[in-house]
Amino acid sequence: MLGTMWNVAYGGLLVAYGVVDRIRTGRKRSDLRTRRGDVAVPPTDGRPRVLIHGVSVGEVNAAAPLVEALTSHRDSVAVVVSASTATGFEQATERYEGTAPVVRFPLDFTWTVERFLDRVDPQGVVLMEQELWPGFLRGCRRRGVPVLLVNARMSASSFAWYSRLRFLSRRLLRNLSLVVCQSESYRRQYEAVGVPSHRTAVVGSLKWDAIRISDDAGRADALAREFGIDRNRPLIVAGSTGPGEEARLIEGKPDGVQLLLAPRRPERWDEVARLRPGMPRRSQGPAPGNDQSRDVFLLDTLGELTDAYRLADAVFVGRSLIPQGGSNPLEAVGLGKATVTGPHYDNFRDVVDTLADCGGLVVSPDPMSVMRDWLDNPDTRRAVAAAGLEAVLRNQGTAARTAERILASLAVRRPGGV
């Protein structure tokens, strides 16, 4: 009965979302047929199979060090990676080619979940951060498959929702075998909304391990040359920006300083380009020479933000000036760049607080003022960058600890009720 009610409610929500998304974007969703649970994975030769699931690109990337840690045990465990969104699936397919098979996560109807679980046959499931679907969790519970929520965090809005609907949240969260949290504060939140303390643990954030310290500057040099960036003038890179931020950054940009904007969502590229008519766009190909009048650039391609960060004298990490959850500062910090973020960073609260506490990152409602001071005082800028890089190195190792928890869970497989 509960499953039938959820199927009806979920179907209604799915239709409503599709209508709203079509109105908002003008695009018709075409990927639903790939989420029917009809997937194929190679046999495991008797090894237990672990499914690692991430919603989209961010979670897929955050899972990389964990996938690497588990595949180092390939003699005793087989790994399959899944993603919900089309972009997440594409990223996972590219990133884990030759390492682990990648499949699309099913829609949360009972029949699609059952088909998916029949095909994959996992002995353990790992969910990244906070991807909890009632139908999928019930399906795993019926089969006695342990489900671990790893790299777990909880935003203020999610905590409020779980607290208000505690009866429903307890029913949902009881399906989790273990919640592996990024910090003690997140563990306390999960316990407050109904997860027993013996089913929680703290190992740190996988985001620290996702950072690969590298001095590879070849691609960055090519980006600067083809984009027309003047290497003799300071460059500020604003990464993963959101609505309302780019205009403020352009307005506050100091004279003589170059600004490269990298909006997080591709559908906003044209909108941002209109803020400064004629600004060079990466998608338009190589720019002729270094025009001194060009001082604002638009990175409207995917996969080049790391190279842009390598060119930066200072970095702003976006979606943080206006409440949008914030973006991950660790890539810029791990590249040894002095980094500033706005005051709204709830999605990366523990990481940002750790970096800010040791002086490895600055939180400010006026990031351009902070970066202007850094450009005027190189010693201060270098000190912030050095402290941030040291913090990244000090906090790595979470993936190995999380992998140990996952491997231990495979020995505990108890069938349960719905």
Catalytically active residues, by annotation: 59
Residue 107 Cα distances to 138, 143, 234, angstroms: 14, 18, 48
Question: Containing H/E element for 54?
Answer: strand 49-54
Cα–Cα distances (Å) from 235 to 34, 170, 225, 269, 270, in that order, read: 43, 49, 14, 20, 22
End-to-end C-alpha distance for the chain, whole angstroms: 11
In sequence order, the 6+-apart residues with CB closer than 8 A to the CB of 74 are 47
N residues, the chain: 418
Which of these, 109, 83, 153, lies nearest to 4 by C-alpha position?
A: 109
Q: How far apart are CA 49 and CA 6, in angstroms?
A: 28
Q: β-strand 49-54 against 200-202: which pairing, if any?
A: unpaired
Strand ranges of the sheet holding 296-298, from the earlier edge strand across to the other edge: 296-298, 258-263, 235-241, 314-317, 339-341, 362-363
Which of 140, 124, 125, 130 lies closest to 181 in space, CA to CA? Answer: 130
Contact criterion met (CB below 8 Å) for 106 and 35: yes
With both helix axes pointing from N to C terminus, report the angle between 378-394 and 367-376 in degrees, rounded to the nearest 10.
110
Can you list the alpha helix ranges (DSSP code H) found in 237-366? 245-252, 269-273, 305-311, 330-334, 349-357
